[in-house]
Amino acid sequence: MTDTLTDPGFEATYEASARAELEAWKRHVLRGPGVWDRATRGVQDRINSAIPEKVHAVVTKAIEQMTHGILTGSGWTSARPLTFATLQAREVRVRDQIGFYRTTASVEGGVAGAGGFLLAAADFPVLMGLKVKMLFEIAALYGHDGSDWRERLYILHVFQLAFSSARHRPEVLARLEDWIAGVNQPASLDEFDWRKFQLEYRDYIDLAKLAQLIPVIGAPVGAVVNYRLVDHLGRTAMNAWRMRAPGLALPAAADSVS
């Protein structure tokens, strides 16, 4: 395994495969809203209106606190950036981390879902914390320092990209590309539009997570939903940090369209 991870020829093959995955992922992100995306908007509004206001308040507060914590907190930055490693070696460890958080979130979601409205609502900030912690660890495995506010801004954009609607994803991808190019950047994190971020996250996650709030079916739904949400975030994060990897750079979205 060690010989394979350090062999230059094998690394070149691995990078070519990663670049192909990155290209396919980027095409998917840029794809417009489908029939399902358009149809679920009205359903989502009706489900939201049926959920107790107390649950909505918990969700909204969790997103606000999570965003503020990323911007200002020190508890997310325990992992040291991994230096002097090949892309393949980094991604072996990244996949291990995704697997760990995926399993942890699944177990936690099943327990919370079995408890009905209030316990499932309490699961929401816990799941958000797991996902944010995973992103900081993935950033470190790709060699980036999460204590830098600019890296934290990138982490927020990655999170936002994973949980935005199909209509909004191209805009968020463009922000990531601007970050990489060093253009159109805020002077500080105070300029980050967290309210828009909060609404987009809620729009994506509600249909899946709100099913967890239904007693009886909550446990199996909570376990599966949490597993899939963390897996989706992990795959998004891998490709988002691949965009910054030497040798994997692709044309920006605007360039590829023109």
Of the chain, the percentage scoring pLDDT greater than 90 comes to 29
Averaged pLDDT of the chain: 77
pLDDT confidence bin for 251, thresholds 50/70/90: low
pLDDT at residue number 213: 47
As a whole number, mean pLDDT of residues 205-222 equals: 50
Which residue type does 126 have?
Answer: V
pLDDT of 7 > 70? The answer is no
As a whole number, mean pLDDT of residues 221-246 equals: 86
142: DSSP letter: T
Overall number of domains in the chain = 1
Closest CA to 241 of 142, 132, 147, 150: 142
pLDDT of 190 > 80? The answer is no
Closest CA to 173 of 187, 154, 193: 154
* pTM for the full predicted model: 0.79
Do 225 and 212 meet the contact criterion of CB atoms below 8 Å apart? yes
For 200, residues 6+ apart whose C-beta sits below 8 A from its C-beta are 160, 163, 164, 165, 168
Closest CA to 205 of 86, 125, 110, 115: 125
Q: Range of 176's domain? A: 2-257
Angstrom CA distances, 28 to 132, 173, 195, 233, 239, stand at 23, 11, 26, 15, 12
Do 81 and 183 meet the contact criterion of CB atoms below 8 Å apart? no
Where helices occur in the chain by DSSP H, the ranges are: 2-6, 8-30, 35-50, 53-72, 87-113, 117-141, 149-162, 169-181, 194-211, 218-242, 253-257
For 49, residues 6+ apart whose C-beta sits below 8 A from its C-beta are none
As a whole number, mean pLDDT of residues 171-178 equals: 92
pLDDT at residue number 41: 62
* Tokens 């509600």 found at: 206
pLDDT of 119 > 60? The answer is no
